[in-house]
Amino acid sequence: MVQKAKILLVDDRPENLLALEAILSALDQTLVRASSGEEALKALLTDDFAVILLDVQMPGMDGFETAAHIKRRERTRDIPIIFLTAINHGPHHTFRGYAAGAVDYISKPFDPWVLRAKVSVFVELYMKNCQLREQAALLRLQLEGGDRSATGESKEPAGLLAELSARLAAVEEQAEALSKQLDDESADAAAVATAAHLERKLTGLRRALDALEPGAGNTSPVSSSN
């Protein structure tokens, strides 16, 4: 069963949160509400999120300050942040948002289709990274001496390698399709950079798997770094 990605929605107005949920419900992911910066930071302590939609103007801790806290934490610094603002901002205001760590800046009222499309890109990237981590974990089990099946019996190395290779091939195919989609849509630079990073990690994992194949020229386990 494929686990759903979590999307954090941060806005002090309930009607705005309701509107965001209506727009993003079509993505069929888990939407998590936060009505303040403090509440958002609390949610980020326990859950992993694919992307954060963050309102700029909030009482107390505003969006800029909230984003600064998010980027200072090692656990959350790489989560994409999309700022939402009702302010008719100028260049300085926009620069402040990007300086705080935003990957995008959308003014209200926004186009629902555009917002949904932007969020879906980061959800797809997040899901591909999750799949990649699963493949890497399986590879580490093989390098450490094999994997135990559900029946408690050891899998033959050749069989496990074939399974790993097939799973990795599926992720590689999806990542390639996503990269082509980003190129076609002239996506945000941050999304393109994240996709490129994912492809590099996939290439490294594929090389490690190839090195484990019989006849690869190695008689001892190959070490791999992530």
29/202: higher pLDDT: 29
What is the spatial distance between Cα 164 and Cα 82, in angstroms, rounded to a whole number? 35
Q: Where in the chain is the domain with CATH 1.20.58?
A: 120-212
- The mean of the pLDDT values for the chain is 77
CA nearest neighbour of 12 among 69, 70, 45, 57: 57
DSSP 75-91: TTTTS-EEEEE-S---H
Q: What is the pLDDT of residue 15?
A: 94
Instruction: Give the predicted TM-score (pTM) of the model.
Output: 0.65
CATH number of 6-110: 3.40.50.2300
pLDDT digits (tens, 9 = 90+) for 69-82: 999 999 898 899 99
CA 104 – CA 90 distance, rounded (Å): 15
CATH number of the 120-212 domain: 1.20.58
7 pLDDT band, cuts 50/70/90, is very high
Q: Which residue intervals of the chain bear CATH 3.40.50.2300?
A: 6-110
The phi, psi pair for 84, rounded to 5°, reads: -115, 130
Q: Higher-confidence residue: 166 or 15?
A: 15
CB-CB contact of 141 with 182 (8 Å): no
How large is the average pLDDT for residues 211-222? 52
Per-residue confidence band for 91, with pLDDT thresholds at 50, 70 and 90: low
- Statement: residue 210 has pLDDT above 60: yes
- Nearest one of 218, 203, 212, 220 to 161, comparing CA atoms: 212
What's the pLDDT tens digit per position in 120-133? Answer: 989 988 888 888 77
List, for residues 143-194, the tens digit of each pLDDT value.
Answer: 666 544 444 544 555 666 676 677 777 677 776 767 666 665 555 666 666 6
